[in-house]
Amino acid sequence: MAVPARAYLSIGEVLNRLRPDFADITISKIRFLESEGLIEPQRTPSGYRKFTTSDLERLRYVLLAQRDQYLPLKVIKDNLDAIDRGLVPAATGSVPAPRPTLGLATIDGEMAPSTFGEVSEMRLSRDELLKNSGLKEDQLVELEGYGLITIRGRHYDGDALAIAKAVTEMAGFGIEARHLRSFKSAADREIGLIEQVITPLTRQKGADSKARAQEVQKEIASLSIRLHAALVRGGLHRLRS
């Protein structure tokens, strides 16, 4: 859907909004920061720049980092890249880290259906995944070989990080990647079952059918996790009895 025209700011309006906090800001400085790739305003058909509120806040971040932290543009650009990928900018000599989250939504201690509708916007490099999960390179190679972790384009997402962290913790109990292939097989079978249920809905025309398919998908995924947890609990109870 097209964004209303007044959702955009002209370069002059951006200048006026920034000037109270940055007295030395000029149109030339804004254009320079654009040429350095720190902001990417859109253009009208006639070539005029169109700034969004996101562009404005990005400019504020750049100017504050220059003025208060004396950061060079390369470091600021790296920090902005980390923020764009859902990370916290790195301290000197380290790598960016995932932003803290509130955790997965639960209902009565079980994962809520809404959890399965979330799409991770986090994008991690290979080095960032290793540093933030504690995995070793050979472990990651093995996990990728078994299909437990996959790269999306050129980056790893939040699901890959969650899997990597879980595997790292399980390794402390002597559990290796080869022992976890059954988890992947079971997950694939559950996904296949869900796909069978929602396929008739996805083939129907209309937005309502698509929305219904998404809700059914989330609900069945949540139920499958509840079933799995109950089966494991039951099995462990039998071991102790």
Tell me if 160 is assigned to some domain.
Answer: yes
Question: Looking at 12-21, 22-31, 204-213, 219-228, which range is the least confident one?
Answer: 204-213
Rounded to the nearest angstrom, the gap between the alpha carbon of residue 112 and the centroid of all alpha carbons in its chain is 19
Check residues 2 and 226 and name the one with the higher pLDDT.
226
- If asked whether residues 113 and 67 sit together in one domain, one would say no
- If asked whether residues 129 and 183 sit together in one domain, one would say yes
* pLDDT of the residue at 84: 84
Q: Is the pLDDT of residue 112 over 60?
A: no
- Find the radius of gyration of the CA atoms of the chain: 24
Tell me if 95 is assigned to some domain.
Answer: no
- If asked whether residues 68 and 115 sit together in one domain, one would say no
Q: Is the pLDDT of residue 8 over 80?
A: yes
Residues 178-191: what's their mean pLDDT? 91
Q: Which of 49, 84, 119 is the last residue of a domain?
A: 84
Q: Is the pTM of this model over 0.75?
A: no
- If asked whether residues 117 and 63 sit together in one domain, one would say no
Question: Looking at 23-27, 89-93, 104-108, 149-153, which range is the least confident one?
Answer: 104-108
Q: CB of 133 within 8 A of CB of 161?
A: yes
Check residues 104 and 57 and name the one with the higher pLDDT.
57
Q: Is the pLDDT of residue 164 over 70?
A: yes
State the DSSP code for 98: E
Residues 216-220: what's their mean pLDDT? 88
- If asked whether residues 115 and 227 sit together in one domain, one would say yes
Query: How would residue 165 be classed by pLDDT, with cut points 50, 70 and 90?
Result: very high
Q: CATH number of the domain that 16 lies in?
A: 1.10.1660.10
Domain assignment of residue 36, given as a range: 5-84
Residues 56-81: what's their mean pLDDT? 89
- If asked whether residues 67 and 136 sit together in one domain, one would say no
Tell me if 130 is assigned to some domain.
Answer: yes
Check residues 45 and 86 and name the one with the higher pLDDT.
45
- If asked whether residues 184 and 70 sit together in one domain, one would say no
- If asked whether residues 186 and 230 sit together in one domain, one would say yes
Total domains in the fold of the chain: 2
Tell me if 61 is assigned to some domain.
Answer: yes
- If asked whether residues 129 and 77 sit together in one domain, one would say no
- If asked whether residues 51 and 159 sit together in one domain, one would say no
Orientation angle between helical segments 11-18 and 53-69, nearest 10 degrees: 40
Q: Is the pLDDT of residue 128 over 50?
A: yes
* pLDDT of the residue at 118: 52
Q: Is the pLDDT of residue 143 over 70?
A: yes
Q: Which segment, 6-20, 62-76, 132-146, is predicted with the most confidence on average?
A: 132-146
Q: Is the pLDDT of residue 121 over 80?
A: no
- If asked whether residues 115 and 197 sit together in one domain, one would say yes
- If asked whether residues 232 and 119 sit together in one domain, one would say yes
* pLDDT of the residue at 105: 45
How many angstroms separate the CA atoms of 182 and 191, rounded?
A: 14
| Nearest alpha-carbon partner for 63 in 8, 12, 13, 19 | 19
Q: Is the pLDDT of residue 9 over 70?
A: yes
Percent over 70 (pLDDT), the chain: 85
State the DSSP code for 100: P
